Amino acid sequence: MRTRAFFLISALIPLLSVPGLCASAPARTHAVLVHHVRVHHTLRITRIIRVAPADEYFGRLKMSILGIRNQLHDLDMRLQYTPDKSADILGSAAYVEDALKDWEHKYPGDPWLAKSVFQLTQLYSQVHTDDGQRCATRALHWLLGRYGRSRYAAQARTEIASQVK
């Protein structure tokens, strides 16, 4: 694309120096071509950027995508080793959910979101209290509603949907 635009511009430049030709028409054509190339180039860049960068922070606690993943893992480990204190993780999980919603708001097409929402849904489904089940139901609806075609939604339908009220 740049080669074609360069060729067209380089073909128009000699016409500007020919006496008797209207100087405004080639100059206007040249400006339009350059502007069109720049606009097209910018549009292509905005389509490529759809994954959240690792150094951007989300939610009230300003968690990075790596921080969200680590926090989900840590909360899952706490549930495995102290299942009798499962209700204690709901506060921390709410901050992770807040960060995930902010991430989704800023980068709705990020392919990593479905996995993180699935992990949050799994986490909530392991908390066997009324609040835990409410959170699990809400997260499951979020996962199925927003990422219903993902493999994580299919996995949630088979593994988690029967556990959630």
* DSSP-derived secondary structure letter, 103: H
Reduced to 3 states, what is the DSSP secondary structure of residue 62?
coil
Q: How far is Cα of residue 11 from the mean position of the Cα atoms in its chain? A: 43
**Tokens 């909360």 map to which residue?**
75
Residue 60 in tokens: 């009230």
> According to the model, what pLDDT value does residue 152 have?
92
For residues 15 and 74, membership in a common domain is answered with: no
Residues 132 and 83 in one domain: yes
Task: Render the burial of 70-80: b for 16+ CB within 10 Å, e for the rest.
Answer: ebbeebeebbe
- Is the domain of 75 the same as that of 100? yes
Which amino acid is it at 90? Answer: L
Instruction: State the total domains in the chain.
Output: 2
Least confident of 22-36, 99-113, 141-155: 22-36
- Give residue 29's domain range: 2-48
| pLDDT tens readout for residues 119-137 | 999 999 999 899 999 999 9
Cross-strand partners of 63: 58
Cα–Cα dist 84/117, whole Å? 24
pLDDT in tens, 88-118: 889 999 999 999 999 999 998 888 999 999 9
The answer as to whether 126 is a domain residue is yes
